[in-house]
Structure 1
């Protein structure tokens, strides 16, 4: 199935913008370590197989796999910054100061979509803190986990949406942040920022984020971009990405976005 044109644009757009400031991973599998991609544990000690054999009078064809390996889920963008000099990115540069997953949606998210974004981040965080039992181990004691666990490194989740229902903000206990309209933070333990592009102030600092908006928000941002001097930081690269997206839309094969 074809991916929405906006998803392709957002990935390439952010990759071009951020590549000079760190490492950008597109369609990155989570967990990142293939040995940790276990989503089901019927038994790590094979008791299920033995139990079923007993009640089926020793049928040797019955077996319960001790673990089932699942495909990793892919996140569109994972960014690891390598420099603190991100001032030219404006507000975007402030929001990606630590390793982060960036989720971009073309529509107002529902509860399940927000939960999916959080689930990706929680899996990534659990992997980094050694909270997931590796494939080649049966159990991990508390003391072993604590001794092997690396120093916790901030990892954040950035969700960029064109709009969001107020009840969803209330449901996730999101509060305004940074004294900037359109920026919301979830509870500190969740390390999640939601950017609502339609609410952002119209200034040069928010321009790169508003270009990921929708409708009048995005059209206004594009007009502001075209009015900038061609030598303005990132201006030429962003214009190129917009042209490529436009050509993609002209193909008429990208669902409703066309």
Structure 2
């Protein structure tokens, strides 16, 4: 499978989850250079109330940063290219304001499905006591962090990043998304993105064994999303049907649906049908407006 489906999913996915926390730019052009950062993020001065407890992605998003996701283990050269883009951005920031504290300069987060031990060793990457296993800091000087997604613990805190993993790690994360309650604000949107990824994978073909397994996991996500979409469509259809019934009753009784009567229809529809129907048949126009206005 080519990188195109994963690249698109990763960018869309990160943008969806980071947008409530700040400004997100996909394929951000490095100032003054013909290079692009996959995802560039700047937190808002007054971010929305984060979840409790914080997810791993929310902790990462506390400071300006760039994200470079990799489906395959990144090579030494790929990591160097990511670091070079970060240095260019930092240089641009310092040219704009040479008083920026070092702690406020952007960080680089390399999100890798896995990372080889030799690469981690050569990069002097070490786990911090303040962060979860699988998160390697390459010294304070370089402001670079490598996340080995396959090493992250299987917790709610890491769920959103584990979706960007590979093999069993990714399939487990998809299963956890499917297990989320329908009321979860992120569930439907994430399922929609996974469904889009499934379609892209099918168009590429042929698939190897690993991606056949992934396609099966994504197919379940597709079925869940399709079912949810149909249910919402039915609910909207029922609501439109009820509104037409209410409008017809009001027109039959009062001959005209003016602004005052139109304004109370949403309040009327909040009641069960067997409750509002007698009211529409028996109350006067003024009584209806007084009751629901």
Q: TM-score of the superposition, structure 1-length normalised?
A: 0.73
User: Residue in 2 aligned with 1:22?
Assistant: 22
Note closer, same or farther for the CA distance 1:84–1:171 as it changes in structure 2 (3 Å cut).
farther
**2: CA distance between counterparts of 1:241 and 1:231?**
17
Give runs of aligned pairs for residues 21-100 of structure 1, distance below 5 A.
21-31=21-31, 36-37=32-33, 72-82=34-44, 83=47, 85-87=49-51, 90-100=55-65
Note closer, same or farther for the CA distance 1:179–1:158 as it changes in structure 2 (3 Å cut).
closer
Q: TM-score of the superposition, structure 2-length normalised?
A: 0.65
Q: Does the aligned pair in 1 maintain the 2:20–2:48 contact within 8 Å?
A: no
How many residues are paired up? 203
Deviation at 1:182, TM superposition (A): 0.5
Deviation at 1:211, TM superposition (A): 0.3
Structure that is richer in helix per residue:
2
User: Residue in 1 aligned with 2:183?
Assistant: 231
Larger radius of gyration: 2
After TM superposition, the runs of 4+ consecutive aligned structure 1 residues lying more than 4 A away are: 253-258
Root-mean-square deviation (Å): 2.2
Q: Does the aligned pair in 2 maintain the 1:103–1:159 contact within 8 Å?
A: yes
Q: Which has the higher contact order (CA 8 A, sep 6+)?
A: 1
**2: CA distance between counterparts of 1:80 and 1:255?**
37
2:202 is the counterpart of 1:250:
yes
User: Residue in 2 aligned with 1:139?
Assistant: none
For structure 2, the residue ranges without an aligned partner over 5 or more in a row are 213-293
Give runs of aligned pairs for residues 166-185 of structure 1, distance below 5 A.
166-177=117-128, 178-185=130-137
Deviation at 1:85, TM superposition (A): 3.1
User: Residue in 2 aligned with 1:159?
Assistant: 110
Deviation at 1:250, TM superposition (A): 1.6
User: Residue in 2 aligned with 1:204?
Assistant: 156
Structure that is richer in strand per residue:
1
